[in-house]
Amino acid sequence: MTLDRLYRIEQELASMTSSRRLEERRRRSVPLWDELHAWLRLERTRVPDGGGIAAAID
């Protein structure tokens, strides 16, 4: 799951300097966030407006 991978990356980056963490986030995490965003946009088309899931995705 993407969120698990994002948390794992953050754990791996914890000991790095802030500038190095930023570089690694851009390299490793941004593609995962983009993947998650694309999935959420797709899922949003599958749920009716006005529901709790729609609100959570929005």
* SS3 of the chain: helix, strand, coil, percent, to 5: 80, 0, 20
At residue 2, the pLDDT reads 84
The number of folded domains in the chain is: 1
Sign of CA dihedral 17, 23, 28, 32: positive
pLDDT digits (tens, 9 = 90+) for 27-41: 999 999 999 999 999
Residues of the chain above pLDDT 90, percent:
95
Task: Provide the residue range defining the domain that includes 18.
Answer: 2-57
